[in-house]
Amino acid sequence: MTHRTRRTAAVLSAVLLSAVAAACSGSPGTPGHPAARGTTAPHGTRGTQAAPGTAGKGFTLVASGDVLPHDSIIRAAATGGGGYDFKPMFAGVKDLVSAADLALCHSETVYGEDGGPFTGYPDFTSPPQVAEALKDAGYDGCSTASNHTLDDGADGLKRTLDAFDKVGLRHAGSARTAAEAAAPATYAAGGAKVAHLAYTYDTNGHPLPDGQPWAVNLMRQDKIVADARAARKAGADVVLVSLHWGTEWQTAPDERQLTLGKALTASTRDGRPDIDMILGTHAHIPQAYEKVNGTWIVYGMGDQIAGEMFNDEGERDPRGNYGSLARFTFEPPAAPGQRWRVTRAAYVPQMMDLTAGRVVNLPAALAKDPDHEAYRAAEEAISEAVLSRGAAKDGLTLGK
């Protein structure tokens, strides 16, 4: 999130392009990365190696929007003595998230040093205890490429990924080494090997760290397709792409989202799509879901955790605390070499209730209190945005 005037990513993209070959030549392992991507991860049976005989087993994916701790959120999580506990904020969606075979979040900010100082907008440095809360809620990993990934330079990026390692979360979109950048986050979910890639449109003008052109994935069509094909070649059955894109406070996807989304979903090799799903963040309000070229695009899931939000006109805007949680069921292909099929598609409206200090699963809350006006208004607004491009006709339903 930013209201500043942004420099374009052209210079950054040029630097990154010149180093793609070097980044891709790194070994698939990641030295000093105890939860190395592409290996098993401790989370019960979720995100681990598939058990023998599960090759024909489907899986359920859950994905959610921006985790954006403003100053007020940081203060609300303070426990005294320099401690922080964000776990209660996720309690309302923990059952839903932890029930999925694979759960992915979007960590928009970077972490500060233990003990702080911690800051909100415009340059965020969040308490590392956010990672503990994400893991406790049931997330297996997060996209970490955003316009705030370099708010505290290479040090902030490293602290964030180190904190992820410590709690057992994987990450996609930012990296500490060239080798790490070249290896996508991979998960075993059901009988599938799932690769997760992530990219951002810009870094708010913060330059890529000297000598680290691979630190953050910038959003370029050629790179996304190349990375997706490399992941497929390495054995991925399903390739998920997270994109930090779009126009803030705009419900409708902008021209770049529409154009890039269409191009990416049309990209194929050997009759099989290179990308199986696109998961969008950044706009801070819910945007549409749409099936394009047979592939689901979630243009924007809105914010999951955020403080009081003000739109471009400087007005308090409750939509900044609305979001949708995407839930898709994948089933194995009908024949070898074909794509894994999405057989169920659902969205679950959620809201950051600033008074209660937690994320609310709106359908579940309204089942208990159908007369809650704020929750009812939020669910209706989220549904209107999510369904605005005709996703219902392709089978998208309201989940619970």
**pLDDT of 23 higher than 60:** no
**pLDDT of 397 higher than 80:** yes
Burial 209-242 (b: 16+ CB within 10 A, else e): beebbbbbbbbbeebbbebbbbbbeeebbbbbbb
Mean pLDDT computed over every residue of the chain:
89
**pLDDT of 25 higher than 80:** no
Quick one: what percent of the chain has pLDDT higher than 70? Answer: 86
Cis preceding linkage at 122, omega within 30: yes
DSSP codes, 203-243? -TTPPPPTT-TTSB-B--HHHHHHHHHHHHHTT-SEEEEEE
**pLDDT of 352 higher than 60:** yes
**pLDDT of 30 higher than 80:** no
Q: Is residue 40 very low, low, confident or very high in pLDDT (cuts 50, 70, 90)? A: very low
How far apart (Å, rounded) are the C-alpha atoms in residues 73 and 355? 11
**pLDDT of 41 higher than 50:** no
Q: What is the rounded average pLDDT of the residues 159-174?
A: 98
Q: What is the rounded average pLDDT of the residues 47-64?
A: 70
Backbone angles phi and psi of 80, in degrees to 5 = 95, 150
Quick one: what percent of the chain has pLDDT higher than 90? Answer: 84
How far apart (Å, rounded) are the C-alpha atoms in residues 289 and 275? 16
**pLDDT of 353 higher than 50:** yes
Q: Is residue 80 very low, low, confident or very high in pLDDT (cuts 50, 70, 90)? A: confident
Map out the domains of the chain with their CATH numbers: 10-398 (3.60.21.10)
**pLDDT of 35 higher than 80:** no
Q: What is the rounded average pLDDT of the residues 295-310?
A: 98
pLDDT of residue 51: 43
88 in helix, strand or coil?
helix
pLDDT tens by residue, 361-374: 999 999 999 999 99
How far apart (Å, rounded) are the C-alpha atoms in residues 193 and 343? 18
Q: Is residue 120 very low, low, confident or very high in pLDDT (cuts 50, 70, 90)? A: very high
Higher pLDDT, 3 or 371: 371
How far apart (Å, rounded) are the C-alpha atoms in residues 18 and 32? 26
pLDDT tens by residue, 230-273: 999 999 999 999 999 999 999 999 999 999 999 999 999 999 99
Q: Is residue 81 very low, low, confident or very high in pLDDT (cuts 50, 70, 90)? A: confident
Pair 146, 280: CB distance under 8 Å: no
Q: How many CB atoms lie within 10 A of CB 319?
A: 21
**pLDDT of 147 higher than 70:** yes
pLDDT of residue 55: 58
